[in-house]
Amino acid sequence: MNSWNEKSNMTMLTDFYELTMSQAYYDQGMKDTIAYFDLFFRRVPDEGGYAIMAGLQQMISYLEELHFEEEDLAYLRATGQFSEEFLQCLANMDFRCDVWAVPEGTPIFEGEPIVKVRGPIIQAQMIETMLLLTINHQSLIATKSARIVYAAEGRPIMEFGARRAQGYDASVLGARAAYIGGVSGTSCSMAGLQFGIPVSGTMAHSFVQLYPTEYEAFMAYAKTYPDNAVLLVDTYNVLTSGVPNAIRVAKELLEPQGKRLKGIRIDSGDITYLSQESRRLLDEAGMQDCKITASSALDEYTIRDLMVQGAKVDAFGVGERLITSRSEPVFGGVYKLCGIEDAEGNVIPKMKISENIGKITNPGHKWVFRFLDRATGKAMADLIALDGEVIDTAQPYELFDPEATWKRKTLHNFEVMPLLQPIFLGGRRVYTCPSLEESRSYATRQMTTLWPSVTRLDRPHNYYVDLSQKLYDLKFGMLKDLN
């Protein structure tokens, strides 16, 4: 099996129409036309207030290995859709695009470019699918994980979803994204091997069932792991069998060795009641330090309800509803042309229009800026502006809602953070990827810049992503001309 850290050629992971369009570009003498594309998403999953950027490292690895193998060309030739001249163009392709992206772990919002590509149209077009699937998947899982971590109110979350993920890539890379989103570790051994994510695991019900009695099963496990024994107590009956047997093993085996039972796990039933009663039994046995972990088809809403109900849970294992983002399993990122360059290098803006206002794109060569309040450090709003626009932080800046333009606000005492960072210039990487641990820590810090009204699970405050006056005028001037 290939390592997820090793570079591999995924050039053919592209929609076929990207290649047929490229043949047409080639036939029309447009192969060197410089195009601009924006990758953005239209709606935050789960009606949430924010999303988390993830997948950049895998996107970089893909672009660094972008080239066609002989077997790729032979397959394309066999389809009968492509000329030999075009196939030779692909064979000699040297990646020359400029790429900018938002760093992993950054909170991101609807409509703003999170990846921007400038380069020859054939190259910029054919990378669409891989960029979307990479950023869409990991941003989805990182976002879901951040919501679950938020609901747990500081209690550790373990990602337990490997067996329920949609394929092994989704399992391993989903665990990576979940770690950026704030989970404490994973049950996926491959993710631990490839990315250094902390791994953990206790036992399955089959382990308990294999032995003549639950007590004997617990005793066997504690003998093997006396320093880190966490026992699954719901195979038969949590309160009349599981917890009493766990206490018995702690008293008869571990405590005489000067060791402590680390924890128990409850995987079914009424978690609130069972955890409360388990806590009472453990405390009465002098085992106040024994932690209680809960699993069993959890998500952010279930965890929040458990907290409200007073469940005595110290950590959570979350599986299928995290690794598949079961409540909303599509991130919905899109990749749209926003401009081309003429012979003199001037950008000719392009825009898609639609009867659906939300599908009208923002034209031109653009950048994204985040306004941060100097007094509080909190994010105030994001601004999409045309290339060349300068924001003077010494002067007040007026923002307005691009759909309800009478809604305006003047910002004072702010600093501005450019969100898009250069990743490739002229096809050569200029960005040094932080470690996964650094990206996770960065994400945690960045989450503190959002107001609680934005991060809450239900009916979050609408974080504004506004257009500069110049971009607004360009967009609506084009709309008027096109109509």
- Specify whether the CB–CB gap between 338 and 36 falls below 8 A: yes
**Token pair listed for 192:** 């631990």
Prediction pTM value: 0.96
Q: Identify which of 15, 110, 8 has the alpha carbon closest to the alpha carbon of residue 358.
A: 110
Give the model confidence (pLDDT) of 348-369 as tens digits. Answer: 999 999 888 888 999 999 999 9
At 419, the amino acid letter reads: L
Residue 352 CA: distances (Å) to CA of 119, 234, 384: 20, 56, 17
**Token pair listed for 74:** 């032979």
Cα 300 to chain center, whole Å?
Answer: 16
**pLDDT recorded at residue 2:** 45
Handedness of CA 222, 224, 228, 230 (dihedral sign): negative
Q: How far apart are CA 457 and CA 300, in angstroms?
A: 8
**pLDDT recorded at residue 37:** 98
Give the chain's length.
483
Q: Which domains does the chain have, with CATH numbers?
A: 16-141+329-482 (3.20.140.10), 150-323 (3.20.20.70)
Q: Which residues of the chain have pLDDT under 50?
A: 1-2, 5
- Phi, psi angle pair for 66, to nearest 5°: -75, 105
Residue 272 CA: distances (Å) to CA of 109, 147, 159, 239, 330: 35, 21, 21, 13, 31
Q: Would strands 34-41 and 333-341 be described as parallel, antiparallel, or unpaired? A: antiparallel
Say if residue 435 is exposed, middle or buried (CB neighbours under 10 Å; 0-12, 13-18, 19+).
exposed
Q: Would strands 157-159 and 315-318 be described as parallel, antiparallel, or unpaired? A: parallel
